[in-house]
Amino acid sequence: MALPPLSDLLDGLKVVSLPLNTRFRGVQHREIAYIEGPCGVGEFAPFLEYEPDEASRWLAAALEAAYVGWPEPVRDVVAVNATVPAVPAADVPRVLARFDGCSTAKVKVAEKGQALDDDVARVAAVRDGLGPEGRVRLDANGGWGVDDAVAAITRLAAFDLEYVEQPVMPVDDLAHVRRSLAASGVDVRIAADESIRKADDPLRVVELHAADLAIVKVAPLGGVAGALRIAEETGLPMVVSSALDSSPGMAAGLALAAALPGLEHACGLGTINLLDGDVVERSLVPVGGHLTVAQIDDARALDPERLERYRASAEREAWWCERVAASYEVLAAH
């Protein structure tokens, strides 16, 4: 797409700080900027530590939403999973209660400062909460080394896992973990997230037979169209996930999930429940464990009162303007 003038983006930029009800990625607030264009609103919310090269992909996704639009859906309904942060096992029932109707849960493991026993207790509580028919998937965010990953997954496999997402970070190590588990007779599938969205060559996951599934997120892959290309090129089953988005960003994830040719697994698009605020009147909240494509329009209708209520400070707005400009410069150079 031809880039709109930077001045247009900065003049209309809206920045908010949304509170979280559970500490996530070490933060209690989610800062997000919004860009409005002829096709709607785009969400720009790369995590605060991301440099312009990485953040530019998120800007591309926001511009796609605002100025290009998304492909037509091939399904009307998308199942979603509950998300359980690295909370104590005693808090698991409280977290699961926010995700009424979800029969699948993604559980954070390998948290810094915690032990494998903490993970075991948390996963056991989730399995107990979902019952034997529920699906339990784990997300380690690359927090283990190879040997620790194999040992941990071998122990956690007792809870009948759907898959383990990114147990280690380097894609070569991911392939090693997958081979080691298979050689040991541990029947747990491996999913790649960072090895795809943070990689210069996402197809190495396929070349090295490093994963059974791919986790795709719209913003880090530069938009819905970019994520669809990754799905086509890898040929792996896809699970669409959010990046702790507010409703406008979540709408992009739902648009991707609705447009994928095949969708075998529940998607990680229920994390609105981790926020204590939003910028639309009708948040993109699952009903009965599902989202519907019909919810997209409401999820992109910015509410002026909520924008003002959660408006970031002038200092933070200026910081986000600088960030948009730096990311824009990267896109313009390409």
Detail the residues annotated as belonging to a binding site for Mg(2+). Answer: 139, 165, 193
What counts of helices (H) and strands (E) characterise the chain? 13, 12
Annotated binding site: 139, 165, 193
> Is 246:227 a contact under the CB 8 Å cutoff?
no
SS3 content of the chain, % helix, strand, coil (to 5): 45, 20, 35
> Is 226:198 a contact under the CB 8 Å cutoff?
no
With a CB cutoff of 8 Å and minimum separation 6, the contacts of 1 are 63, 64, 67, 68
Q: How many Cβ atoms are within 10 Å of 234's Cβ, its own excluded?
A: 19
How far apart CA 316 and CA 89 sit, in angstroms, is: 36
Q: Which amino acid is it at 244?
A: L
Strands 161-165 and 27-37: unpaired
Q: How many Cβ atoms are within 10 Å of 241's Cβ, its own excluded?
A: 27
Q: Which amino acid is it at 233?
A: E
- Partnered with residue 5 across adjacent β-strands are none
Is residue 14 among the annotated active site residues? Answer: no
Q: From the candidates 14, 108, 112, 198, give the one annotated as an active-site residue.
A: 108
Q: Residue 85: how many CA atoms within 13 Å on its side-chain side? A: 20
* Best CA proximity match to 215, nearest among 255, 276, 265: 265
How far apart CA 150 and CA 129 sit, in angstroms, is: 26
Tokens of 6: 């930077």
Look-up of token digits 């399995």: 127
* Best CA proximity match to 327, nearest among 55, 66, 4, 64: 55
How far apart CA 163 and CA 266 sit, in angstroms, is: 12
Q: What DSSP element (H or E) covers 291?
A: strand 290-292
Point out the residues that are catalytic.
108, 217
